[in-house]
Amino acid sequence: EAGVTQFPSHSVIEKGQTVTLRCDPISGHDNLYWYRRVMGKEIKFLLHFVKESKQDESGMPNNRFLAERTGGTYSTLKVQPAELEDSGVYFCASSVGTGFGYTFGSGTRLTVV
């Protein structure tokens, strides 16, 4: 079984540019989560999809962040325009159901310069 795949693994962009992160969950996992670790801080929840619907986006920092999961398969997280404080590692995770274990992706390290 393929794991959770994230792309790209690293991204370096200039302030003001746009970046799109992608997450491919495990096939059949309806639940998809985005998390973020900013330097020196703990990992924090961003949002949760069930299939293509956003169940909870309370962790999204501001309206510069847009997440989508068209068709309930892969998800994208777009940051536009990127700011310096957006730098960090963005993790995606998926699960069969909300009461089940998570499988995490390897993360995307975003650096905004």
Partner 1 sequence: KNEVEQSPQNLTAQEGEFITINCSYSVGISALHWLQQHPGGGIVSLFMLSSGKKKHGRLIATINIQEKHSSLHITASHPRDSAVYICAVRGGSNYKLTFGKGTLLTVNP
Give the per-residue contact string, 74-103, with partner 1 (x = CB under 8 A; - = no).
-----------------x-x----xx-xxx
Neighbours of 57 (CB within 10 A): 15
Q: Which of residues 11-40 bind partner 1 (CB under 8 A)?
A: 31, 33, 35
Phi/psi for 59 (5° steps) reads -90, -5
Most distant CA pair in the chain, distance: 39
Q: Among residues 28 and 101, whose Cβ is nearest to partner 1?
A: 101
Residue with tokens 């068209």: 70
Chain residues that interact with partner 1, rule: CB under 8 A = 31, 33, 35, 41-45, 48, 55-56, 59, 91, 93, 98-99, 101-107
